[in-house]
Amino acid sequence: MARYILRRLGFIALTLWLASMLIFAATQIIPGDIATMILGRFASETAKNNLRVQLGLDRPIVVQYLSWLWGFIRGDWGVSLSSDSAVRDIVFERLRNSAILAFCAFIIYVPLGIILGLIAGLRRNSWVDSTLSVGSLAFIGLPEFVSGIILIYIFALQLHWLPSQSSVDYSLGFWPNMPMLVLPAITISLTSLAYILRMQRSSTVEVLEMDYVRTANLKGLSARQVLFGHVLRNALLPTVTVVALGIGWLIGGLIVTETVFSYPGLGRLLLFGIQRRDLPLIQAVAMIIVIIVGLANLGADILYAYLNPRIAYK
Amino acid sequence: MAAEVNKQPVLEVEDLDIVYDTEHGPLDAVRKASFAIHEHESFGLVGESGSGKSTLAMGAIRYLAANGRIAGGSVRLNGKELADVPRHEMRHLWGSQIGVVYQSPLSALNPSYRIGRQIAEVAQLHMGMDKAKSSARAIEMLTKVAMPDPESVMRRYPHQLSGGMLQRCVIAMALMTNPSLLIMDEPTTALDVTTQAVVLDLVWGLKQQFDSAILYITHDLGVVAKICDRIGVLYAGEFMEQGDLRQIFHTPIHPYMLNLLGCVPHFDLGQAKRSLVCIPGFIPRIDELPDGCIFAERCEWAEEACTVERPPFVHTKDDHYTACRRWEIVPPVDEHVFAATSELAQRGGGEDEAHLVEATDVRKIFRTPSTGLLGRGERHDIHAVDGMTLWISHGRTLGIVGESGSGKTTVARTIIGLEEATSGEIKLHDEVLATSLSKRPRSVLKEIQMVFQNPDASLNPHTSVGEAIGRPVRLLTDASGAEIQARVLELLDAVQLPSNYYYRMPGELSGGEKQRVAIARAFAADPELILCDEPISSLDVSVQGALMNLLMTLQAEKGTSFLFISHDLSAVQHLSDWISVVYLGHMMEWGDATKVLTPPFHPYTEALLSAVPVADPDAKQANIRLEGSVPSAMDIPPGCRFHPRCPRCLGDICRTEEPPWREDGGDHWIYCHIPLEELREMEAGTLELATERGGAE
């Protein structure tokens, strides 16, 4: 197992290296000149050239890439071009904010999706099942900027229960900011909830038809013992994978949702960086996202292996 | 059994009606079923698919699908009426009074939990034991089912054990509470024949050791004959005949049972290949049953009066019941089954006959995918076929018999070119063939065709029967459009399907009909060799018989050669001129069919013959059982590859040196260290069954 995890970490490092090249290449082909962006359109050519030398932009691409990569590994992520502060500090603060929001969403949609999926699966073809299935399908099709705006309209503008903007300030602690987290967390949850619900429903239906469930019933176990003792663990297996793969989705959802609610998170930071051509910022945020997705997948595989003894790692 | 007649039966089912509520109204799956089982007795519920045997058994213990219900009659377990017991009370009986063993042990156990926990759970639930006590009880039970090293098995997961071991675990689990009723639903169907024999021995022993009454469900007449005291024959939801096992097998008094016995190939080993007595037509649909006898349509003794009203299930003599009005005129088995068969051909295929196909030292190695980073990890070689040399003569059948993992399918696939042989040579008409299918010319493709095991998978569901059969005609011959159609109709006729099947889709056909279409398609381009890979294994007994007749008739007419692959030794001996016995990618014995199945034997052949279930309760078979299971083809044992399981292993020589091929006449070879003379003497015991059967003719 330890060897397996080490090997998988090796794979993540490899993925990161490939991703770093792609990210670096992508930031090179973003149109627009950085010096012009920073100094303004009317700056003199000499000033721009000086700035380029200062930023190291006159060096060959490969050298620029290697020095950036080495810096990133050492924890020196450079200085933001748009705000003059260290990229690492900005990214970590925003990462924490996003993590809080993602966590709030996560504890809503994962348990809820699993429970609703189980109910739909156990009551297959009943009205409960059809309502949940149709309802979840509707949410899968609804993008965050639509569902977010609908929620804002109802709960903020009409009912005045919750704020429409989520300009949180965690220096005040978590609870004062709680009301501002509710709507964005629900917005993010809706899409992912639907995926998990549908996955959990179909795996429950599948497991219920397995011979070992018949065995469990004919052992004389009660319906509850059969469900929690024999069905649940097997029916959770496919869902675990979906939850982990969903973390990639979650980040996509974060970018949109944070923008809709003006939430100061990683997603909005990335968008901001792109708008300002803030290369060090974009690069760092993109790398962080790749690391998160890689680790989430590893976590899912380890959990899957723990739950499923048929997976043997060599 | 006489002593037990006075005692109260453990399970008593009376006039039981089981109904499924469907969209099209109620479906009477089982009608007026009555039977009883006593302590220490095993009752065989025999029937083909759709006969309602599982529905009856599961219905009797109230475990039915949500739309199933008991519509009438009564079920008593130790005198207690079950038909109206509330469900939560039934749950107390399940697992404590009623134990169940299932067809596929791997899927019957939860893959996520250790064996020990799953077995011990029963004791915790019903016997109020704590963890430690229930584990001790589980180990005790595993020991009783002859499980080697039960402590370590307790800690294993289901996927880590072989099928035979798993079935022992399931049996141990079912017996934990010493239940009064043990239901065994096809418990050996998913196992290899040598493992099946071991499990059947175990069940036989447990029957004496435990007080349970056993309800044994199976479609296999050979298994029934080995394990049951009394049997009931079900057909389309009704009992046709019931009574003492020997009586039914020797003097059946219902035409259905009589004909079922006719469908099973017997070990006659005569020089002639004979047809089987088969049942025409199909099992009627449960929703379209006639008013009269439900078997009348397929019965050669049916008369007008049989079709008027449903005959009652009557007691005739001793312990023998029948649903036939005319049971007194049903002829004896010997007369009907063994005498009425017709000779189709003489066995042959000796050295003097020209070889159509010759395979020399064929090997097929599969490589496992790599596991390491960037594909640099270890790869393993799987020696699926490890040096086989064989030939097939013109118009003859070579039967290849072996258990799963023996490489029998792979060797066929290398001959037709679906797998490229790793080394070795395959010749057709003395011409060496390209190993790859894509490099073989059309003229070669035309000559070799194949029939696969599962007709559902081998027929395209969106292609009509006519198109499916016409395709090889169009692709492999130069026939024109009208000629193709004429040829297809001719083939449909040859496989005994009506011409209006031309436009049918595979979904509208039964399993047997689909396989007939597949056979017609194989014959379409008029090939010289047809490879039949377990073509009848997934089908019902009566359909198997009919298809074997069809294959033999077509062979006699067209002079086609067959390579017939099966794990079923009785089917192989019935159809084959020559037989090759394979084990772990290598032939153990091969030659003329009669010689392979009479001494001298290879020890493996001997074990197979001793394990094969024969549909005759009085067959005397040697009691040779193989330990363990077939080793992995990744790690073939050195010396003789059979030595780890061989009951006659000589010692070091078998473990280190590859055995010689010993020649017995010009048409029989045995791959063994033991000299022929000794092989001849040691194994005479196995033959008794064959001579007895021969005497019956």
B63-113 pLDDT, tens digit per residue, is 998 889 999 999 999 999 998 888 888 999 999 999 999 988 999 999 989
Contact: A221, B91; criterion CB under 8 Å: yes
Q: CA angle at residue B284 from B283 to B289, to 5 degrees?
A: 150
- The pair of three-digit structure tokens given for residue B442, joined into one six-digit string: 């059309």
- List CB contacts (< 8 A) between B61 and chain A: 218
d(CA B122, CA B127): 8
Quote the longest CA-to-CA distance of chain A: 86
Question: Residue B687 — very low, low, confident or very high, per pLDDT cuts 50/70/90?
Answer: very low
> pLDDT digit string (tens) for B261-305?
888 887 776 777 888 888 888 888 888 889 999 999 999 899 999
Cα B459 from Cα B625, distance rounded (Å):
39
**A308/B122 touch (CB, cutoff 8 Å), yes or no:** no
DSSP secondary-structure letter at B332?
P
For residue A212, which residues of chain B lie inside 8 Å, CB to CB?
107-111
Q: Side chain identity at B653, as an amino acid letter?
A: I
For strands B98-101 and B181-185, give the pairing. parallel
* Residue B26 phi, psi dihedral angles, 5° rounding: -70, 145
pLDDT value at position B423? 92
Mean pLDDT across B40-54 = 91
> Please, what sign has the CA dihedral across residues A275, A276, A277, A278?
negative
Could you list the beta-strand ranges (E) of B476-541. Answer: 529-533
Across all residues in chain B, what is the average pLDDT? 88
Residues 413-452 of B with CB under 8 A from A: none
- Which letter does DSSP use for residue B439 in this model? G
Predicted-assembly ipTM surpassing the 0.90 threshold: no
Distance, CA of B235 to CA of B298 (rounded, Å): 12
Smallest Cα–Cα separation from A307: which of A228, A232, A210?
A232
B271 at the A interface (CB within 8 A)? no
User: CA distances (Å), B107 to each of A213, B58, B95, B154, B562, in order?
Assistant: 9, 18, 18, 17, 35
CB within 8 Å of A119: residues ≥ 6 apart: A128, A132
DSSP label at residue B499 = G
Q: How confident is the model at residue B60 (pLDDT cuts 50, 70, 90)?
A: very high
Tens-place pLDDT, residues B425-448:
999 998 899 888 889 998 899 999
The structure tokens listed for B226 are 């080995």
Closest by Cα among B241, B552, B575, B236 to B400: B575
Residue B172 forms contact with A (CB below 8 Å): no
Q: Is A218 on the interface with B (CB under 8 A)?
A: yes
Please report the residues numbered 117 through 156 in chain B whose beta carbons come closer than 8 angstroms to any beta carbon of chain A.
121-122, 125-126
Residue B682: pLDDT band (50, 70, 90) is: low
| Cα–Cα nearest to B356, from B398, B418, B402 | B398
DSSP 8-state code for residue B454: -
User: Which of B104, B107, B122 has the CB atom closest to A219's CB atom?
Assistant: B122
Mutate to test the interface with B, among A6, A213, A214, A218 (most CBs of B within 10 A): A218
How much is the pLDDT for B225?
92
User: Considering only alpha carbons, which residue of chain A is nearest residue B174?
Assistant: A219
Burial A65-77 (b: 16+ CB within 10 A, else e): beebbebbeeeeb
**Is the confidence at residue B693, as pLDDT, over 50?**
no
| pLDDT at position B690 | 39
Q: How many CB pairs under 8 A join A and B?
A: 76
pLDDT at B370: 61
Could you give the CA distance from residue B646 to residue B641 in angstroms, rounded to a whole number? Answer: 9
pLDDT of residue B339: 64
> What pLDDT does residue B697 have?
30
Task: Please report which confidence band the pLDDT of residue B378 belongs to, taking 50, 70 and 90 as the band edges.
Answer: low
Residue B563 pLDDT greater than 90, yes or no? yes
Q: Is A308 on the interface with B (CB under 8 A)?
A: yes
Render each residue's pLDDT in chain A as its tens digit; 314 residues. 677 788 888 888 898 899 999 988 887 777 777 777 777 777 788 888 888 888 777 788 888 888 888 888 888 888 887 777 888 888 898 899 998 998 999 899 999 999 999 999 999 888 999 999 888 888 877 888 888 889 889 988 888 888 888 888 888 888 888 888 889 999 988 888 888 999 999 999 999 999 999 999 999 999 999 999 899 989 998 888 888 878 877 887 888 888 888 888 888 888 888 888 888 888 889 888 888 888 888 888 888 877 777 775 44
- Those residues whose C-beta lies under 8 Å from the C-beta of residue B575, and which sit 6 or more positions away, are B265, B273, B397, B399, B548, B551, B552, B562, B564
Model confidence band, residue B163 (pLDDT cutoffs 50, 70, 90): confident
Residue B467 · residue B492 · CB < 8 Å: no
Mean pLDDT for B537-546 is: 86
Cβ contact B221:B46 at 8 Å: yes
The model's pLDDT over B302-345, given as tens digits with 9 standing for 90+, comes to 999 999 999 999 999 888 999 999 888 888 887 777 666 677 77
Residue B601 CB partners (closer than 8 Å, separation 6+): B589, B609, B670, B679, B683, B686
Which residues of chain A neighbour B104 with C-beta distances below 8 Å? 211
Hey, is the C-beta of B159 within 8 angstroms of any chain A C-beta?
Answer: yes
> Is residue B692 predicted with pLDDT exceeding 70?
no
| Chain A residues within an 8 Å CB radius of B122 | 219-220
CA–chain centroid gap for A176, Å, is 24
Alpha helices (H) along B495-540: 511-523
Least Cα distance to B351 among B387, B386, B396, B388 occurs for: B396
Would you say B257 and B74 are in contact if contact means Cβ atoms under 8 Å apart?
no
Question: Taking CB atoms and an 8 Å cutoff, what residues of chain A touch B114?
Answer: 309
Task: For residue B384, list its beta bridge partners.
Answer: none
Hey, are the CB atoms on B109 and A217 less than 8 Å from each other?
Answer: no
Contact check, Cβ <8 Å, A220/B63: no
Chain B touched by A306 (CB under 8 Å): no
CB contact under 8 A, A214 and B102: yes
Picking from B23, B77, B112 by the largest number of A CB atoms within 10 A of its own CB, the best residue to mutate is: B112
Residues B373, B374, B376, CA angle at the centre, nearest 5°? 75
A234 touches chain B (CB under 8 A): yes
| Overall average pLDDT of the B151-160 stretch | 91
**What's the N-to-C CA distance of chain A in angstroms?**
8
B620 or B409, higher pLDDT:
B409
State both tokens at B562. Answer: 């067959």
Of A11, A212, A307, the CB nearest to B110: A212
- Nearest-Cα residue of chain A relative to residue B89: A220
CB contact under 8 A, B121 and A11: no
With CB atoms and an 8 Å threshold, state whether B112 touches A211: no
Find out whether B494 and B560 touch, Cβ atoms under 8 Å: no
> Degrees (nearest 5) of the Cα angle A258, A260, A261?
65
Determine, for residues B110 and A219 on separate chains, whether the beta-carbon distance falls below 8 Å.
Answer: no
List Cβ neighbours of B272 (8 Å cut-off, separation of 6 or more): B343, B344, B345, B346, B347
For chain A, where are the alpha helices, taking DSSP H only? 2-29, 34-39, 45-55, 61-74, 87-122, 127-141, 144-151, 178-208, 211-218, 223-226, 232-260, 266-275, 279-307
To which H or E segment does residue B181 belong?
A: strand B181-185
B45 has which bridge partners? B217, B232
Give the pLDDT of residue B351: 67
Q: Is A10 on the interface with B (CB under 8 A)?
A: yes
Rg (CA), chain B: 26
A39 exposed, middle or buried (CB, 10 Å; 0-12, 13-18, 19+)? middle
Q: Cβ–Cβ of B63/A309 closer than 8 Å?
A: no
Asked whether B440 and B479 are in contact (CB, 8 A), the reply is no
Residue B550, chain A, CB below 8 Å: the answer is no
Q: What pLDDT is recorded for position B371? A: 56
CB contact under 8 A, B373 and A210: no
Interface check B67 vs A, CB under 8 A: no
A13: β partners: none
Q: Position B437: which residue type?
A: L
Euclidean distance between CA atoms B254 and B335, whole angstroms: 15
Q: A218, B63: Cβ pair inside 8 Å?
A: yes
Query: What pLDDT does residue B264 have?
Result: 87
Which residue from B minimizes the CA distance to A313?
A: B371
Residue B535 in 3-state DSSP? Answer: coil
The set of residues, in sequence order, having a beta carbon less than 8 Å from that of B175 and lying 6+ positions away, is: B99, B141, B144, B145, B182, B206, B210, B212
User: Which residue of chain B is at minimal alpha-carbon distance from A123?
Assistant: B66
- Residues 171-210 on A with a CB inside 8 Å of B are 210
Cβ-defined contact of A219 to B373 (cutoff 8 Å): no
Supply A143's token pair. Answer: 């993008």
What count of other Cβ atoms lies within 10 Å of the Cβ of residue B540? 22
Asked if A310's CB is within 8 angstroms of B157's CB, the reply is yes
A interface test, pick of B90, B91, B185 with most A CB neighbours within 10 Å: B91
d(CA B208, CA B16): 29
Under the banding of pLDDT at 50, 70 and 90, the label for residue B507 is confident
Contacts of A308 in chain B (CB under 8 A): 111-112
Report the pLDDT averaged over residues B396-420. Answer: 91
Q: How is residue B462 written in tokens?
A: 């969106």
The beta-carbon neighbor of B102 closest among A211, A221, A309 is: A211
The Cα–Cα gap between B590 and B595 comes to 9
Interface probe for A, chosen from B103, B110, B127 (most Cβ of A below 10 Å), is B110
Name residues whose C-beta falls within 8 Å of residue B632's C-beta, 6 or more positions apart in sequence.
B382
Residues A211, B104: C-beta atoms closer than 8 Å: yes
Q: With beta carbons under 8 A apart, name residues in chain B contacting A228.
A: none
Which candidate, A192, A202, A166, places its Cα nearest to that of A181?
A166
pTM of the full predicted structure? 0.85
Element (H, E) at B581: strand B578-583
Q: Any CB–CB contact under 8 A between A125 and chain B? A: no
Per-residue pLDDT of B464-479, as tens digits, reads 999 999 999 998 888 8
For A10, which of B63, B170, B373 is closest by C-beta distance?
B373
Smallest Cα distance from B93 to chain A, Å = 7
Distance from CA of B593 to the nearest CA of A (A): 40
